[in-house]
Amino acid sequence: MTYYRLTLLVLFSLLILHYSLPSVLDQLKKYFGFDSFRPLQREIVEAVMAGSDVFALMPTGAGKSLCYQLPAVLLPGVTIVISPLIALMKDQVDSLNAAGIPATFLNSSLDGRQMHMRMQGLEHGDFKLLYLAPERFPVPGFLEFLDSLNVSLCVVDEAHCISEWGHDFREDYRNLRILRERFPSAPIMAVTATATERVVADILDQLSLRDTKIFRASFDRKNLTYQVWPKRSAMAQLEGYLERQKGESGIIYCLSRDSTERMAASLKLRGHKALPYHAGLERGVRTRTQELFDHDKVDIICATIAFGMGIDKPNIRYVIHYDIPKNIPAYYQETGRAGRDGLPSDCILFYAPGDRTKYLQFFDEKPPEERVRAIHELDKMVDLAEIATCRRTALLAYFGERYQQSNCGSCDNCLSNEDAETFDGTRLAQMFLSCTVRVDQKFGVSHIVDVLKGSRGQKIDDFRHHQLSTYGIGSEYTKAEWKHYANEFRRQGLIFQDHDHFSVVKVTPKGWEVLRQKRSVTLTRPKTVEHETREAIDLPAPYRELFDHLRELRRRIAEQQNVPPYVIFNDYTLKEIAGRVPVDGPEFLAISGVGETKAKQYGMEFLRLTRTFRKEHPELTRMTEIRHAPREPKGGDSAYETLAFFRKGHGPKQIAELRGLAASTISSHLASFIQSGQIGSLEGLVEQKKLAPIRAAFERLGYATLSDVKNYLGDEYSYEDLRYVRAFNERTA
């Protein structure tokens, strides 16, 4: 029976994949409001529909959820999604139901009656997606209930929680091997935003994945600006920034629970809508705080890392670290909560060289091997904070990805008008190294700096270090400057800190070469960065006014339906509406992010507003170009390879054969380049005689779905023809 079900599922998937790909794009537009896929989404969907197990490593904001939500619509039966947090489940289910996709969840937030009704609905086939927490599986009788459902796909979200090597390990995730045993005919999909090679291998093993298709998206979040601000008068700097961001959503991460509460109280006194969030608060308080934030009733959350994976809010415009995170994966994941809608957002880290020592106290409680590893990871985070070169390049390099540009244009170092000031620091390095030797290489950075500065204290007196020749020779530099240079010496390999012995500083062979005047040292001065803020919604004044009215309408509708505003439309879609000023149904449905269900549900109210606004502003016209955060062409590197073949004179069918890809994938790549202007005409793609009829059909029927136009024109016209013409018309509209 199992083999029979597996065979049927695979055959069904192959039929959909090879004979109905246009309908996949139709469903993408119908339910999600998108005309094309983002990088890797199509390939992942195709792999799932072909019955393969899938592992997808995609950063926050890359569209992971769609990779299993779209197959869930297309496959028979129900897709089960294992998700770690109740709040995240509710947001996902609210968004899916608003888009016309029947979804539900089963967790401890439901009473007995609600649980029974939802389970009955699942047995009757009323839902396409079921969200569960891993803790639900051991409940007596629950696995038998799942056996009664037609499970077509199993999804493990936040899959890094499976691995004890991951940063959010959860014991209950280790029991998910049972998915393969219980549902042998259903493919398993594991998705996560962060995972090392060791974690990936552990996930594949723990889930018993077979013949797995592994997909890795770029870690580059182009719409995020990375900045490090010196932690001097930090509260004043923060206040100035928040004043410029009044009304926008943001997160401020702090190291301790007390500091989150102090920060929130201070911001409230300054007129900001801010609340604290940490694990020490009662569960009901945490839930209410997150609801207020999701519903745009609180602008700022001051949080510890407890405010984590449950955030599905797309319009977070800034993430601020008031204290340095303990490692780069934590920093990347936390900053990744900004700008999920693709609009420009800020990631600001306040940093002082002494911040590192705060963590060392926590690390003292760890076993020796784990402590050394934690300090090593912390030092990499410190390096990221202190480098004078491109921060994006360094961040991506940590994850094994090479950034191709010399200037990213969106980190403080690359945005700085002047290059970082470098100088010959050989003498300064010799002072530090000499002092290190004279204290017998038995002390840490802080003590060495105190000696160089000529400070007096009990420790210096006890060891008679005030009698050393290096005592006071570096008094012209501040302690902060010396600590900055000490980190540079460590990065350049002149010293190392022995973390097994109280982090004492020792001179390396390269350091001895400097002392013996056989090597010179170049240093970078600490600099104060100009604080740059990018406008997320860069619309001209009258269109910006319409955008504000649209946000207010969205808020009212969301309050009536008791859902977060982004469930209605996110800021990216509202920006499109404000710029395009649609006045009828087809124009509204053509907006990115507007699917058929949402158009029916909300179209009249939004169109009433845009029509009225257009009457009041007769000078307003449809913007021909709306600037969003830069995006790669659909398909990433694979798309550029297709473009290279096309420029060599190969046609779409020939490219598909040469590259071993589906014709629809190639057409999607080419359509993307047509829309971006990198393919300037339709010559060689669409026959000249077909252009006028296709354009007339689009004028008559609109651009929303290709299938209507295809049925209207007949079999002589291919979906590829329609896709190319639509892309060209959208560019030139």
Domains and CATH numbers, the chain: 2-216 (3.40.50.300), 224-366+409-415 (3.40.50.300), 422-524 (1.10.10.10), 541-616 (1.10.150.80), 636-732 (1.10.10.1390)
Closest residue by Cα to residue 726 from 678, 684, 668: 668
Strand partners, 411: 226
pLDDT of residue 420: 55
How many angstroms separate the CA atoms of 639 and 622, rounded?
A: 30
pLDDT of residue 135: 86
Buried b vs exposed e over 548-583: b needs ≥16 C-beta within 10 Å? ebbbebbeebbeeeebbbbbbbbbbbbbbbbbbbbe
pLDDT of residue 171: 76
Residue 310 above 70 pLDDT?
A: no
In eight-state DSSP terms, residue 467 is: G
pLDDT of residue 307: 66
> What is the maximum span of the chain, computed from C-alpha positions, in angstroms?
95
Q: What is the pLDDT of residues 40-78, one digit of tens each?
A: 899 999 999 999 999 999 887 788 899 999 999 999 999
Q: What is the pLDDT of residues 353-401, one digit of tens each?
A: 777 777 777 777 777 777 888 888 888 999 999 888 889 999 999 888 8
Q: Quote the tokens at residue 57.
A: 């490593």
Q: What is the pLDDT of residues 458-513, one digit of tens each?
A: 888 889 998 999 999 988 888 878 888 887 888 788 998 776 666 789 999 999 99
pLDDT of residue 73: 93
Highest mean pLDDT among 59-63, 421-425, 624-628, 724-728: 724-728
How many angstroms separate the CA atoms of 419 and 421, rounded?
A: 6
Tell me if 351 sits within 8 A of 234, measured CB to CB: no
pLDDT of residue 1: 40
Q: What is the mean pLDDT of residues 332-356?
A: 88
pLDDT of residue 501: 65
Angle at 364 between CA 362 and CA 369, to 5 degrees: 115
More confident residue, 251 or 353: 251
pLDDT band at 419 (very low <50, low <70, confident <90, very high): very low
Tell how far CA 267 is from the center of its chain.
27
Going 286 to 289 to 293 to 296, the CA torsion angle's sign is positive
pLDDT of residue 62: 80
Q: What is the mean pLDDT of residues 114-118?
A: 92
Residue 636 above 70 pLDDT?
A: no
Angle at 579 between CA 574 and CA 584, to 5 degrees: 80
pLDDT of residue 381: 92
How many angstroms separate the CA atoms of 69 and 99, rounded?
A: 11
Q: What is the pLDDT of residues 222-245, one digit of tens each?
A: 889 999 988 877 887 888 788 888
> Is the pTM here over 0.85, yes or no?
no
Q: Give the contacts of 601 (CB within 8 A, at least 6 positions apart).
A: 98
pLDDT band at 301 (very low <50, low <70, confident <90, very high): very high
From 169-173, 286-290, 292-296, the region with the lowest mean pLDDT: 169-173
From 311-315, 490-494, 555-559, 657-661, the region with the lowest mean pLDDT: 657-661
**H helices, E strands: number in the chain:** 33, 17
**Half-sphere exposure of residue 561, counting CA atoms within 13 Å on the CB side?**
18
Tell me if 693 sits within 8 A of 581, measured CB to CB: no
Closest residue by Cα to residue 187 from 273, 294, 71: 71
Tell me if 713 sits within 8 A of 693, measured CB to CB: yes
Tell me if 415 sits within 8 A of 409, measured CB to CB: yes
Q: What is the pLDDT of residues 691-707, one digit of tens each?
A: 888 888 877 776 556 66
Residue 258 above 80 pLDDT?
A: yes
Indicate the Cα dihedral angle 61, 62, 65, 71, nearest 10°: 160
Going 346 to 194 to 491 to 495, the CA torsion angle's sign is positive
Q: What is the pLDDT of residues 156-206, one digit of tens each?
A: 998 888 876 655 667 778 888 889 989 998 999 999 887 778 888 888 999
How many angstroms separate the CA atoms of 264 and 232, rounded?
A: 20
Q: Quote the tokens at residue 106.
A: 């089963």
Q: What is the mean pLDDT of residues 440-468?
A: 89
**Residue 534, number of CB atoms within 10 A of its CB:** 16
Q: What is the mean pLDDT of residues 616-636?
A: 60
C-alpha distances out from residue 13 to 183, 566, 591, Å = 17, 32, 30
pLDDT of residue 19: 37
pLDDT of residue 657: 81
Residue 329 above 90 pLDDT?
A: no
Average pLDDT across the chain, whole number: 83
